[in-house]
Amino acid sequence: MSRPDPSAGVPLSAPTGRPDDPGWYTGWFELALYFLAGVTYIGFGMFHKFLLNWIIGPVWLVAWIWFVPAVIEGVRRRLKP
């Protein structure tokens, strides 16, 4: 944790440079993930209000940020010749 942050000052269009992020995972992509997580949560939450609680809300975001890149990376690897 005390090591210099490789991602500090990296532009949004570049890969984040963080050790666990895939090479294609840029700042813009991450921003889009946050946005999509928000839009879907609000959309579902408005019509299924049980979703709007302090457990599901934070977990929703964390799940998007954790799993979407992991799933995309898995698919990319599988499709690679």
Nearer to another protein, 77 or 81 (CB): 77
Q: Residue 27 is inside which H or E element, if any?
A: helix 27-47
> How far apart (Å, rounded) are the C-alpha atoms in residues 44 and 8?
34
Residue 14 beta carbon to another protein: minimum distance, rounded to whole angstroms: 14
Residue from 5, 14, 32, 36 in contact with another protein (CB under 8 A) = 5
| Residues between 16 and 75 that touch another protein (CB under 8 A) | 16, 18-21, 25, 30, 34, 37-38, 41-42, 45-47, 49, 52, 54, 57-62, 64-66, 69
Q: Which of 5, 1, 7, 38 is nearest to 25 (CA)?
A: 7
On whether the CB atoms of residues 61 and 34 are closer than 8 A, the answer is: yes
* Residue 12 within binding range of another protein, rule CB under 8 A: no
How many angstroms separate the Cα of 65 from the Cα of each of 3, 69, 81?
23, 7, 27
Q: Which residues bind to another protein, rule: CB under 8 A? A: 1, 5, 7-8, 16, 18-21, 25, 30, 34, 37-38, 41-42, 45-47, 49, 52, 54, 57-62, 64-66, 69
